Amino acid sequence: MKFFKGKRETDVAAFQEAPKDFHDLQRKLKASHDFHTFQFPDEEGYTISYFNSLVNDQKLQEHILAVIKNQPMRSLQRLKGDIPMEASKVTSDIVIIQRMVMAGSVMIQTKKADGSCLLIPCVHSVKRQTSIPESEYTVAGPKEAFVESLDTNLNLIRNRLPTPELQAREFRVGSISQTKLVVLYLDGIVNQQMVETVMQRIADIDYDTIVDISFVGQMITDNRNSMFPQLIDTERPDHLATVLSEGKIGIMLDGSPHALVGPNTIISFFSSFEDYLQIWNLGTSFRLIRLFAVLFSIFSSSLYVAVITYHYQVIPTDLLPILISSRGVIPFPPILEAIVLEGTIELLREAAVRLPAKVGSTIGIVGGIVIGTAAVEAGFVSNVLLMLVALAALASFTVPIYQISNTIRLIRFPFLLAAQLYGLFGLVICSAFILSHLLKLTSLGSPYLEPLYPMRFHDFKDSLIRLPFSKQKKRPQFLRTEDGIRIRKKDEARRSQKDIDE
Amino acid sequence: MNVKLLLISSCFILLSACGVEKQILEDILIAEIVGYDDVGEDKIKGTVVVSVPQPGEEANLGKEVYEAISHDINATRQQENAKTPFPIVGGRLTVILYGDELARRGLNDYVDTYRRDPMVGRDLYLAIVDGKAEDVVRMEPKMVRTPGVQVKELIEQNMRTNLTDVDLHKYLYASHGKGIDPVMPLLEKAEDQIVVKGIALFKRDTYIGKYIPYEEGFLFKILSENFKLGSYEIKWKENDYTNINNVESRVRYHITDANRNPKARIEVNMKANLLEVQGYDLNKPIDVNKIEARAEHILGKKMNEMVNMFQTYNIDPLALGDHAKSKTRNFNREHWEAVYPHIPIEVDLNIEMIQTGISE
């Protein structure tokens, strides 16, 4: 916080030197080629000026120019009444004029140079159609994802939660970008203290240009140096709507097709939204498989190094010949072998992300077949390790949240080094370090390892396992909600009577 | 902050030398089986089989045999290392074999190093070889890769039916415990095969030269532990044999008046089924009770003979002394040891045939 607090000022717009007077402002605006100024309807008429790039041409002609042309000259106040556009304004405040013009308003002046002008919002903005979610794709369930436009995103959420309790508090962040930011929560459910925390942290943001919600995420998170993300980045409106009704807080930014969700526990980073879309026992099994895959992904190569380097005793008898003969021809010690292979996989991943999709598939072929096979045949790496590393990479792709999958990618390397230094003992030491870090970590002030630590038995219903909806009677305890009850009806005993019995 | 950083970095620098000894898999020779023989003049000969990796795509393991003669086991290990390109390590040792002559001299000195070495696991088998241990170690097994695995799997397989549960841990408990004596599998090289000959009997750590034959091993196992497998052949009449199959057997020891006039009763309850019946007309209903009574009589007699044999040699592989101690307040060990060879021990066998197969 300190770093950003340094030069904080109360008015977010204060960076932009307020123009001294109207002429100064006009001079600045006219420096741009897309700023148009002309007299209308004739030389004696109004002065109309606007940014061509920001204003909707059709609206301008149909609703503004047409009205002006058909009427005699009037005062700005009268004109404002004649033009049927909302939120238009007559003002002489230079700061407001500047802000509104920059936001796509048409500025209309009379010949009387008294400095007051009529500002009519007439924004033309480029919007993308909502498309299907890409990073959080699910086979079942809704196929809508957030887009860059904040209005569209809010619309998606309000459609899902049609209640006045859904409140959206607006902020402007970024001293230059002046980006619109909205904090969303369900009043009466959410813990007000958490909302205050979030809003205070957002108010503390001081940076020039905020273009994406991940900037905000990094600035308001509890521990900014932790590799473990504490806020979830989601692109699914259904996901956001669900967690809002649990009592979490959502943050959306204009221009960013993602929403931030908090507070979270570490388990929520490994639970896909798809877990809720299928029956609870299947959902639970797949969630457990995913958790196992994460553990496997973190530990497999370091366990290999530890066992091969120090603990030949633990290798089962039947596996021993396979391991020895695959290791026999390798000129490197196990640690180098593992680092070479892990490094290759990281290169492949990084290259596949950077390349366009059509070329990306080629990378898979080049990486998987050519490099893998060639490395084994050349005797650089053993095929057992190749298999382990490939499996580990595969396992890490099962993680549904992109941010934590990056964490898992990187966290393998300290484990590798520890395994080389002290074997299994080193792995234990390294795990202890990471566990103690996780114990200390909080997400918007609530413990990160909950419900494992602190042990809250009730919250297990939706953590490692997911129980059926009928068992989800209460909202998660760690959210400290004002209204903790989800299901008000007492029991389902009546159901059997209502059912038709043939 | 700077102090913290300094502390952390100095930790890395100072601790970087505190490494553990590396034993990279392909840079060691993993001993699989080791045999010790008496060569006279207080010397022993150690023979060890190590698996040697064969480079190549297939997982082939060759084997190499090294031997050395010295006074104690660690010295033989050292001498073996003098002949090998990599150190020989014992962490995956599966079986230790002793020649019977060495075993007759007492094994304490030659088991000791395996007891102390933290690298050696406790689930390794000890066995006596009738003859030279070296002969078994040098065998070229047919089915399984190396003699180590061969012997280990041989013992494990037979432990299900005819051998009692014997590993290093059990041996150490029995040979150092009071009122209990260890046993070991007795192996033998028969032409090109390794054969379990029986159960070798010990007084403390010394092989007394007697053994229970392989077939009778089933009876010994019934007497010493609860188990669920195995079968025994009973001679019925001339040329007629019946094979009863153990489904579940339970043994309980009742020892009374251990401090003055001890009496022991070993109660064995066995559920069995009949697998093979000769000399009976299967068209008539078989009188199961008659078979039960007959089997109880024959088996009981053999068991009694076996227990009496233990008393004759003053050994206690059934751990009766141990059981007596656990059931008696102020147990007088000297008295027990003095009277043990003469106390009445009764084996009370109940067989219940729970299944006799199909009959008309």
Q: Which of A3-7, A40-44, A114-118, A221-225 has the highest mean pLDDT?
A: A221-225
Q: What is the mean pLDDT of each run of 10 residues along chain B (360 residues)?
A: 85 73 84 88 86 63 78 80 84 88 88 84 85 85 71 87 86 89 90 88 90 90 88 78 86 89 91 76 66 86 92 91 89 90 91 73
In the block, tokens 């009778």 appear at B216
pLDDT (tens digit, 9 = 90+) per residue, A142-180?
Answer: 999 999 989 899 999 999 999 999 999 999 998 888 899
Does A422 reach chain B within 8 Å, measured CB to CB?
yes
Best of A311, A312, A323, A425 to mutate (most B CBs within 10 Å, chain B): A312
pLDDT over threshold 90, residue A349: no
- The whole-angstrom separation of Cα B204 and Cα B182 is 7
Q: In the prediction, which pLDDT does A12 show?
A: 43
Among A313, A317, A321, select the one facing B59 at the smallest CB separation: A321
Q: Does B56 touch chain A (CB under 8 A)?
A: yes
CB of A260 closer than 8 Å to CB of A233: yes
Nearest chain A residue (CA) to B60? A321
Q: Can you give the pLDDT at residue B77? A: 80
Query: Does the pLDDT at position A434 exceed 80?
Result: yes
- Tell me A104's DSSP state: T
| Among candidates B16, B54, B89 on the partner chain, residue whose Cβ is nearest the Cβ of A325 | B54
Inter-chain contact B25–A323, Cβ cutoff 8 Å? yes
Label each residue of A168-208 as H, E or C: EEEEEECCCCCEEEEEEEECCCCCHHHHHHHHHHHHCCCCC
Determine what percent of chain A falls in helix, strand and coil, rounding each to the nearest 5.
50, 15, 40
pLDDT at A401 over 60: yes
Task: In whole angstroms, give the CA distance from residue B136 to residue B149.
Answer: 12
Q: How far is the alpha carbon of A207 from chain B, nearest alpha carbon, in Å?
A: 26
- Closest to B220 in 3D by CA, of B208, B230, B207, B235: B230
Distance set, CA A322 to CA A327, B25, B65 (Å): 9, 11, 21
Mean pLDDT score across all residues of chain A:
85
d(CA A343, CA A364): 15
- CA gyration radius, chain B: 25
Tokens representing B179 are 């009122």
DSSP state, B105?
A: T
Task: Identify all chain B residues contacting A327, using CB atoms and an 8 Å cutoff.
Answer: 25-26, 53
SS3 A51: strand
Task: Select the more confidently predicted residue: A117 or B12.
Answer: A117
B247 neighbors B271 (Cβ within 8 angstroms): yes
For chain A, say whether B23 makes contact (Cβ under 8 Å): yes
Task: Give B152's contacts in chain A (Cβ within 8 Å).
Answer: 317
| B51/A328 CB distance under 8 A | no
Give whichever of A41-50, A297-306, B97-106, B274-283 has the largest mean pLDDT: A297-306
Place of tokens 């001890």: B262
Measure CB to CB from residue B26 to each of A317, A324, A421 and give the nearest one.
Answer: A324
Angle (nearest 5°) at CA A192 between A186 and A196: 110
User: Given an 8 Å threshold on Cβ–Cβ distance, is A320 in contact with B58?
Assistant: no
CA distances from B16 to A409, A431, B10, B13 (A): 26, 19, 10, 5
Residues 6+ apart with CB under 8 A from A343: none
The answer to whether A207 and A15 have CB atoms below 8 angstroms apart is no
Q: Does A333 contact B24 at a Cβ distance shorter than 8 Å?
A: yes
Output the pLDDT for position A499: 64
| Residue A6 clears pLDDT 50, i.e. is over it | no
**DSSP one-letter string for B263-317:** EEEEEEEEEEEEEEE-SS-TTSPP-HHHHHHHHHHHHHHHHHHHHHHHHHTT--T
CB within 8 Å of A298: residues ≥ 6 apart:
A408, A411, A412, A415
Angstroms from B26 CA to nearest CA on chain A: 6
Question: Does the beta carbon of A310 lie under 8 angstroms from any beta carbon of chain B?
Answer: yes
Spatial contact of B59 and B94, defined as CB atoms under 8 Å apart: no
Check residue B227 and give its pLDDT. Answer: 86
Q: Number of Cβ pairs closer than 8 Å across A and B?
A: 72
Whether the CA torsion B168, B171, B176, B178 is positive or negative: it is: positive
Question: DSSP class of residue A478?
Answer: G
d(CA B275, CA B273): 6
Q: Is the peptide bond before A414 cis (omega within 30 degrees of 0)?
A: no
Confidence of residue A14 (pLDDT cuts 50, 70, 90): very low
Cβ pair B61:A325 closer than 8 A: yes
Cβ atoms A185, A167 nearer than 8 A: yes
Question: What are residue B352's DSSP bridge partners?
Answer: B271
pLDDT for residue A11 is more than 50: no
Copy the structure tokens of residue A93: 């405040």
The per-residue pLDDT for A3 is 46
Handedness of CA A295, A301, A306, A307 (dihedral sign): positive
Mean pLDDT for A362-368 is: 75
Superfamily of domain B216-360: Nutrient germinant receptor protein C, domain 3 (3.30.300.210)
The torsion angle over the Cα atoms of residues B78, A333, A423 and A296, rounded to 10 degrees, is -140
Picking from B22, B94, B145, the nearest residue to A309 by CB comes out as B22
Q: Residue B23 is encoded by which pair of tokens?
A: 């034993």
What is the ipTM metric for this complex? 0.80
Residue/partner pairs of B52-60 with CB below 8 Å, 24 or more apart: B53/A321, B53/A324, B53/A325, B53/A327, B53/A328, B53/B26, B54/A325, B54/A328, B55/A325, B55/A328, B55/A329, B56/A325, B56/A329, B58/A325, B59/A321, B59/A322, B59/A324, B59/A325, B59/A326, B60/A321, B60/A325
3-class DSSP state for residue A469? helix
List the single residue in A323, A328, A423 with the smallest CB-CB distance to B55. A328
Is the pLDDT at A441 greater than 90, yes or no?
yes
What tokens appear for B331 in the block?
């147990």
Q: H or E element: which one contains B75?
A: helix B73-81
